[in-house]
Amino acid sequence: MSYEPEFQQAYDDLVSSLEASSLLTEHPEYRRALPIVCEPETIAQFRVVWDDDQGKPQLNRGYRIHYNTALGPCKGGIRFHKSVNLSVLKFLGLAQVFKNALTGLSIGGAKGGSDFDPKGRTDNEIRRFCQAFMNQLHHHVGINIDIPGGDIGVSEREIGWLFGHFKTINRSSEAVITGKGLTWGGSYGRKEAAGFGVAYYVEEMIRYRSKGTDSLKGKAVAVSGAGNVALHAALKTIQLGGIVKSVSDSLGSLVATSARGIDLDTLQAIMVLKTRRAQLATFAKQGEHTGFNYIAGVRPWEFVGQVDVAMPCATQNELSLQEAKSLIAAGCHYVAEGSNMGCTAEACALFES
């Protein structure tokens, strides 16, 4: 699997976790199941041809991986990003199997997406791509087969275009996709759940380590990302009394310069900005809010100063060994990954040591 580095990393992490537990000692027969569980049941790869605003045909690759249906129909997100390939989706799909199993619900694991990059594309181009993608995807999803949802590059808007085209193709209003708007079948709290969960988890980590004598209140928290998970993790951190030191996107980082951190008014303004799909650099140039520096081309970890908690919430392998060393030197005691495999293997090894 050397040609699939992200999947190899996830597989190695799973194996090392199992080897360090008592599970395989008590149940040696499970060793035979491990390679079966780690191999996807089916992989669909398809071409997606769509027209740009100049009427020129464009080509992207699309994928849907049904990883495991032992517990029930597949469930997992759709990612639109230029980095998408089979290795990335296999690692995400493998993780989804275990995440879904932990819910206690009868759902299996899946993942899908495309190497389509929404950045720089117009709304109409993204809509046409979503419709072209669903022309192929609808063969592989259904209420008793696979229920996809959103991920990087696929927000409520894209879910709407995908779901609308599914209904057109199949002449059916089956709830075949999650992440819908509240007025057309969505669920309350869905948008906030992942990010809020990261903050609540850190709160419990701190309470556990302190035997109930400490909490997130007053703790300095570095957050990466400016998507759904990151911004809601930052929001709940503020609500729990924490101090948010940073947020970031693919072009750079906003790092707080004041003791109060990025305050609620500033964070809410960033959330509004991101609904318009603008970059943090644009927010910094507006000059309507103060108390932070914008640093282009970097992640926040080495620039946040003293920090108690790190929440990587952007993408995989976004926190390196060198950045882990910087965080430890800055006083960081807690790391909670809001993104899938947010820390590199080397960074994880350092934190765990």
Active site residues: 111
Is position 82 annotated in a ligand binding site?
Answer: no
Residue 75, annotated ligand binder? yes
Start-to-end C-alpha separation, the chain: 27
Residue 219 is labelled as binding a ligand: no
CB 323 within 8 A of CB 347: yes
The answer to whether 331 is a known ligand-binding residue is: no
Per-residue b or e along 229-266, where b marks 16 or more CB atoms closer than 10 Å to that residue's CB = bbbbbbbbbbebebbbbbbbbeebbbbbeeeebbbeeb
Residue 150 annotated as binding site: yes
Annotated binding-site ranges for NAD(+): 228
Annotated binding-site ranges: 75, 96, 99, 150, 228
Annotated binding-site ranges for substrate: 75, 96, 99, 150
